[in-house]
Each structure stands twice: as structure tokens, then as C-alpha cells.
């Protein structure tokens, strides 16, 4: 079982295919398995790397609050590339993984050939309401376990789109989500998701970011719509793809559109045709 140590926490990863490296970082509600449609598609051309975030088995599951933060998660991704001897890669992620991708690009731009930032930025708008509801959610995870609050979370307004489009895929998503450790889920949400800077707080850093960036959102993923538009207007070499009648898990809801959009982006980047936004 391939793993590497990130400051004493063992992180599990998988490598599929050959070619230029393409890394995918999963969301809070997902896991490595969430990227299966992308692994199968992109491994025909790329060396596709997926990994289980700390707190998600088969990676280690720390139970100390200080083991979870945005800086730590970004460093896990950095150390994964170092472990594999990769000097540069296309970096992509969704939601929690999308924020990790964005902040990896800010911290290590020389290692990012491009950034794919999907469904990122929740908690940036409506901050007080987000923090209040998140506290209730994490309190319940610790007190009740994951089954009941997790099921309610999976039926939120930004998740029901997957259920409507693909009931079997939704059942698999829910099964995998409810298998998460409730303690590490709560600590991840508190230490990373709730504590990370908002997208708006990154404005100066985003304006200086020169890595080609593809921003992707579902038009019914309300917490991420305004942050996505802000990123498009702020990151110089960025583009925005909006998925119609789609929620948060766009890689699961619309895998074909997701894959084709990313492939078009990667092709443009590699051809030197992904340009800077006009002033």
C-alpha cells in the first residue's frame, strides 16, 4: 500500500497511467473514490495521482485538533509531489480540494503547470451564517456520530442535484461519505474548512498569481457562485466554466462535461494558448 509520511502522518496515494502528472485532491464530502471517472479518462494521456487526505482512511486519521489546517493540507500535497520526485504537475481539486489546489498554487507556483479549482470558496460569502451552521454540524458529528448529521448534510440544497441526476451514483457517494470517521471529519471541518481565509481575503495574492487557472462551478451551488466570479475577475490567467442545473459535486454529476472541459483547458495550456485576461 503506497504511503508517504507528512510530519508523522502517513498519507495513502495511487498513481495510474503515464505521462505528465495530473493530481486530484478530493472534497470533504468525497474521497479518493470520487475521482474514478477522472482517473479512467485522464490516465489515457496523463500520470494521474489521487490521494486520501489526512483523516480519510487508508491514510492516517489523527485525532488531535492541531493536525488539521489549511497550511498542513497544502503541505501534504507539496510533500506528495516531493515524495514522487515530481517537479511540476497539473493540480486539480474540488471544494476542500479546490481550496487546497488554489492555495498550493499561491504557495508553490513553480510546481503548478496549471490549476483546476472546482466548487471552491464556500464560507466566503455569508460568513457569520456559515460559521454558525458549521459549529452546529461539527458539534453534532462529535456527539452523534456521522450517520444522522452526515445524511442531512448529503441532502443539502447543493447535493440533491446528484440524487436527481444519478440515484445510483448518489447512493455510492452517500455510502462512502458515511464511512468517514466522525472525529476526523469534525476536526477537518473546524481546523481547515471553517478556519481558512475566505477567497476575498486572498485578493492581493490572487492578482499576483500567474499560473493558468480553470475555475468550475455548478450554477445551483450558491455558496460558491460569487467566490467563483470573484476568482475569475481577480486571477489574471483564469477562465470560468459554469455547469447548468448543477450543484456542488460537479465531477460526479456531469463527469463527461467535467472531463471534456478540463481536457480542453489542459490542451490549451500545453499549447501555450491559455492567455491572460485583457486589462
What mean pLDDT is predicted for residues 4-33?
97
Summarised one tens digit per residue, pLDDT across range 113-122 is: 999 999 999 9
* Domain assignment present for 276: no
C-alpha of 209 from chain center: 18
Q: Which domain holds residue 194?
A: 3-270
The whole-angstrom separation of Cα 159 and Cα 138 is: 18
Helix (H) or strand (E) holding 243: strand 238-243
The whole-angstrom separation of Cα 237 and Cα 213 is: 6
* pLDDT band with cut points at 50, 70 and 90 for residue 279: low
Summarised one tens digit per residue, pLDDT across range 31-47 is: 999 999 999 999 999 99
Assess whether pLDDT exceeds 90 at residue 126: yes
Number of domain units in the chain: 1
* Domain assignment present for 201: yes
* Domain assignment present for 277: no
* Domain assignment present for 278: no
The answer to whether the pTM exceeds 0.75 is yes
* Domain assignment present for 247: yes
Angle between the N-to-C axes of helices 147-154 and 127-144, in degrees from 0 to 180, rounded to the nearest 10: 140
Strand order from edge to edge, sheet including 3-6: 3-6, 9-16, 47-51, 21-25, 89-94, 112-118, 213-218, 238-243
Summarised one tens digit per residue, pLDDT across range 70-112 is: 999 999 999 999 999 999 999 999 999 999 999 999 999 999 9
* Domain assignment present for 115: yes
| pLDDT for position 278 | 76
- Output the domain CATH number for residue 120: 3.40.50.1820
Q: Region of 126 please: left (phi>0), alpha (psi -120 to 50) or beta.
A: left
The whole-angstrom separation of Cα 43 and Cα 34 is: 15
Between the alpha carbon of residue 254 and those of residues 20, 76, 218, the distances in Å are 25, 28, 10
* Domain assignment present for 69: yes
Summarised one tens digit per residue, pLDDT across range 137-160 is: 999 999 999 999 999 999 999 999
* Domain assignment present for 42: yes
Amino acid at each position: 500500500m503506497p504511503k508517504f509520511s507528512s510530519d508523522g502522518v502517513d498519507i495513502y496515494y495511487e498513481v495510474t497511467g503515464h505521462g505528465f502528472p495530473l493530481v486530484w485532491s478530493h472534497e470533504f464530502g468525497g474521497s479518493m473514490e470520487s475521482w474514478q471517472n477522472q482517473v479512467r479518462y485522464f490516465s489515457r494521456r496523463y500520470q494521474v495521482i489521487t490521494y486520501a487526505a489526512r483523516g480519510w482512511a487508508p491514510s492516517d486519521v489523527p485525532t488531535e485538533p492541531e493536525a488539521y489546517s489549511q497550511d498542513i493540507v497544502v503541505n501534504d500535497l507539496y510533500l506528495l509531489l516531493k515524495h514522487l520526485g515530481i517537479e511540476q504537475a497539473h493540480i486539480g481539486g474540488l471544494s476542500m480540494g479546490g481550496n487546497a489546489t488554489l492555495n498550493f498554487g499561491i504557495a508553490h507556483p513553480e510546481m503548478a503547470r496549471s490549476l483546476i479549482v472546482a466548487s471552491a470558496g464556500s464560507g466566503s460569502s455569508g460568513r457569520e451564517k456559515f460559521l454558525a451552521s458549521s459549529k452546529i454540524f461539527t458539534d453534532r458529528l462529535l456527539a452523534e456520530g456521522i450517520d444522522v448529521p452526515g445524511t442531512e448534510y448529503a441532502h443539502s440544497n447543493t447535493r440533491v442535484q446528484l440524487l436527481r441526476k444519478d440515484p445510483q451514483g448518489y447512493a455510492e457517494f452517500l455510502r462512502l461519505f458515511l464511512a468517514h470517521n466522525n472525529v476526523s471529519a469534525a476536526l477537518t471541518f473546524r481546523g481547515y474548512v471553517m478556519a481558512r481565509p475566505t477567497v476575498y481575503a486572498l485578493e492581493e495574492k490572487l492578482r499576483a498569481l500567474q499560473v493558468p487557472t480553470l475555475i468550475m462551478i455548478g450554477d445551483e451551488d450558491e455558496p460558491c457562485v460569487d467566490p467563483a466570479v470573484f476568482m475569475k475577475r481577480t486571477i489574471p490567467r483564469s477562465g470560468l466554466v459554469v455547469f447548468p442545473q448543477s450543484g456542488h459535486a460537479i465531477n460526479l454529476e456531469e463527469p463527461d462535461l467535467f472531463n471534456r472541459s478540463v481536457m480542453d483547458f489542459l490542451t490549451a495550456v500545453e499549447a501555450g494558448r491559455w492567455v491572460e485576461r485583457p486589462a
